[in-house]
Amino acid sequence: MPSTCWHHPSMAITLDHLRRYAVARSLFKPTTLMRAIAKLGFVQADPIRAPARAQDLTLRQRVVGYRAGDLERRYPRLPLEEDFFVNYGFLLHGHHALMHPRQARLEWTPARWKQAQAVQEFIAERGAVHPREVDAHFAHGKTTNWFGGSSNASTQLLDGMHYRGLLRVARRDGGTRVYAVREAAPAVPALDIDARMDALIDLIVAKYAPLPDASLGQLVAYLGNGVPQWKDARKPALLRARQRLQRARVDGVDWLWPAEERAESRRWKPDAQVRLLTPFDPVVWGRRRFELLWGWAYRFEAYTPPAKRKLGYYALPLLWGDQVIGWGNLSVAGGALNAELRYVDGRAPRDAAFVRELDAELARMQVFLGLEE
């Protein structure tokens, strides 16, 4: 591929370069909430609190004075959307618009569309509606959910309407999505699909770079969550991305990152802080990339049977400088933070600087969780 953006051979990129680059570009100097989200491009959400939700644990590292729950509290006043991208989370209006109008993989029957239209009219009359209001008004009954259990049919219908772009999340009440009607998105001209796919892939790369080539392929496949209607456009878009991105082979693995950035630049200098990162933080999200950069296998075990867990229910990778040296399981009991820390080498570093930085991180975590007292 003659147009591929290969790295200039005058500087041999090493795994050390890529490691520093991965950490420093993602853990930028803390800023405002909207600037941090714009830099990240997308913030993955997860409902588990251990000791806080993933979106809050991600943002606390990048937003000045961030407290658990700030995103949910401020969301109704911000130009953000909750929706699927490569997974579920928060993204800017402009990025969200690239994926709509969305066509779901599962076709609805005419009867289902009639139900959806009635619910949409009901919500439009009221402005914003909690799912229990819909259930009380329409009495849709129960249905089998994805996990084999029983849930309100109204909840499943609202989820489907949100996914199809008929509704948006206006806010959350006690963690439950409250819906409002969304204005219909205009149809996308065929010639615009490739441009949108390119922009969405660039958004992926900007968040997770540097990426092993295989990991980029996996993420583009996950993009099917956001744009299932453009399944046939994904492979050509991936080929175009591989041609325009910066690329280097390190220890037999092809790595990719934005063409305008130099991974070997001395500007990428991770600070000396100790950080406890959520399993969904962009620094540690890709398990293949994690193992290549840090030499050990991290696993998210919240859904692993307790007897088979090796790291713990919600192990937070422990980053010191540019090295992930262990993990921690954190909990709150009686208003106090409990931290169970483990180390890849079997014991904590004896360096006084590490002890100082770890104490500072645990103190920051207490403030973030509102446990300062």
Are residue 93 and residue 193 in the same domain, yes or no? yes
Tens of pLDDT along 71-92? 999 999 999 999 999 999 999 9
Mean predicted confidence (pLDDT) in 351-366: 97
Are residue 94 and residue 20 in the same domain, yes or no? yes
Residue 240 token pair: 């175009």
Q: Does a structural domain hold residue 262?
A: no
HSE (side-chain half, CA atoms, 13 Å) at 15: 11
User: pTM for the whole thing?
Assistant: 0.92
Domain boundary residue, one of 159, 181, 203: 181
Least confident of 135-139, 173-177, 224-228: 135-139
Residue-level pLDDT at 84: 96
Q: Tell me: pLDDT of 332 over 90.
A: yes
Are residue 150 and residue 198 in the same domain, yes or no? no
**CA 205, CA 44: separation in Å to the nearest integer?**
15
Domain boundary residue, one of 154, 181, 208: 181
Nearest Cα to Cα of residue 180 among 134, 217, 216: 134
Asked if 219 and 204 count as a contact pair (C-beta separation under 8 A), the reply is: yes
**CA 107, CA 250: separation in Å to the nearest integer?**
45
Q: How sure is the predictor about 144, in pLDDT bands with cuts at 50, 70 and 90?
A: very low
Tens of pLDDT along 21-72? 999 999 999 999 999 999 999 999 999 999 999 999 999 999 999 999 999 9
Are residue 83 and residue 28 in the same domain, yes or no? yes
Average pLDDT of the residues of the chain: 92
How open is the CA angle 292-296-299, to the nearest 5 degrees?
100
Q: Does a structural domain hold residue 92?
A: yes
Residue-level pLDDT at 191: 79
Q: Does a structural domain hold residue 264?
A: no
Query: Residue 348's CB: how many other CB atoms inside 10 A?
Result: 15
Mean predicted confidence (pLDDT) in 249-268: 96
Residue-level pLDDT at 10: 44
200 against 186, higher pLDDT: 200
Q: Does a structural domain hold residue 263?
A: no
Share of the chain above pLDDT 90, in %: 87
Domain extent at residue 220:
5-98+188-257
Q: How sure is the predictor about 189, in pLDDT bands with cuts at 50, 70 and 90?
A: confident
Asked if 140 and 115 count as a contact pair (C-beta separation under 8 A), the reply is: yes
Are residue 203 and residue 87 in the same domain, yes or no? yes
Max CA separation in the chain (angstroms): 69
Nearest Cα to Cα of residue 273 among 358, 364, 367: 358
Asked if 119 and 111 count as a contact pair (C-beta separation under 8 A), the reply is: no
Are residue 250 and residue 352 in the same domain, yes or no? no
Q: Does a structural domain hold residue 75?
A: yes
Q: Does a structural domain hold residue 105?
A: no
Q: Does a structural domain hold residue 269?
A: no
User: How many domains does one find in the chain?
Assistant: 3
Are residue 89 and residue 196 in the same domain, yes or no? yes
Residue-level pLDDT at 150: 38
Mean predicted confidence (pLDDT) in 6-11: 51
CATH number, domain of 117, equals 1.10.10
- Across the strands, what pairs with 220? none
Mean predicted confidence (pLDDT) in 129-156: 69
Are residue 278 and residue 354 in the same domain, yes or no? yes
